[in-house]
Amino acid sequence: MDIRALRYFVELVKCQSFTRAADALFVTQPTISKMVKQLEEELDMPLILREGRSFRLTDAGRVTYERGMDVLSAMNQLKHELADLASLSHGELVVGLPPMVGVAFFAPVVSRYRGRYPQIELKMVEDGALAIENRIKSSELEIGVAVLPVDSQVFEHYSVVRDPLCLVAPAGSRWHGKSLVQLADIADQPMVLYPDDFTLSRRIGDAFRELGKPLNIVGRSAHWDFIVELVAANLGVTLLPRSIVERLDREQFDVIPLFDNKLYWHLALIWQRSGYLSHAARAWLALTRETLGGQD
């Protein structure tokens, strides 16, 4: 089977468009059509049914897409393992980081990694912790940061930080001077929060549901600095990890620890338990241990 034809077909299904697939692969639309036709002839059955400018998969197309993802993932792993023969003299490492995590913890790790392994092309992919977890599970990413707990049958992990959450409100709020605040104390408040697909956002929502209280979301952002700007503008209050709120100007904000033993920010580097961890990723893990400490 022509791996290139399989790759073009998989990209077409992912993009759901000949135009977008051609752009992603830097080829022409006729090339995509030719490769799909070649794959259909080799398998001796149709894979897609054209409907005007769109298409839908046949049963054979769905199976070919699912198994094709496995084949391409295996090919990518083979390339990683072969590239490792040259150790760390060249290569690439892509690390998944949630937006709040990079600025809070990993800037010094990035700096030391670039200094120690200048021949490795290091790329940071910003996404929510849940999305990073899914991308590692599907082998799209090799290593990244997620919020624990994760499925221990699927992932290995190295714990980096376990942070309690803190209420952040405009200075002079009704919680000013309090040493602790409970979730029930803020259940009636407008909240500025992270996107709904962020792990911590979902856990906060679950905690409110356990109280029998709806979340009153007035704004969302993936970036903590924008969240606190919205709080400063009196749009609402928020819950942020202790490591983040330590950076805030206490003259602008009231910051009160949240009294909740179940609601916290537990970050860890994760990677596939059954997957291959490249030398570049192992070096990243070792530098994280060296720079940030933490525990397994």
Average pLDDT value for the chain: 89
The one-character DSSP state at 175 is T
Tens digits of residue pLDDT in 57-116: 999 999 999 999 999 988 888 877 777 655 677 778 999 998 877 767 888 999 999 999
Tens digits of residue pLDDT in 119-128: 889 999 988 8
Quick one: tokens of 219?
């704004």
Residue 35 burial (CB count, 10 A): 22
Torsion of CA 178, 184, 185, 191, to 10 degrees: 110
CA angle 201, 204, 209 (to 5 degrees): 125
Angstrom distance (rounded) from CA 136 to CA 21? 23
Angstrom distance (rounded) from CA 90 to CA 246? 38
Asked if 54 and 13 count as a contact pair (C-beta separation under 8 A), the reply is: no
Angstrom distance (rounded) from CA 54 to CA 142? 33
CA angle 179, 166, 105 (to 5 degrees): 130
Tens digits of residue pLDDT in 147-184: 898 999 999 999 998 889 999 999 999 999 999 999 99
Which H or E element spans position 225? Answer: helix 224-232
Partners of 253 in the beta sheet? 170
Torsions phi, psi of 192, nearest 5? Answer: -105, 125
Residues whose CB is less than 8 angstroms from the CB of residue 141 and which lie 6 or more positions away in sequence, other chains included: 94, 95, 96, 125, 132, 135
Partners of 91 in the beta sheet? 120
Angstrom distance (rounded) from CA 137 to CA 194? 23
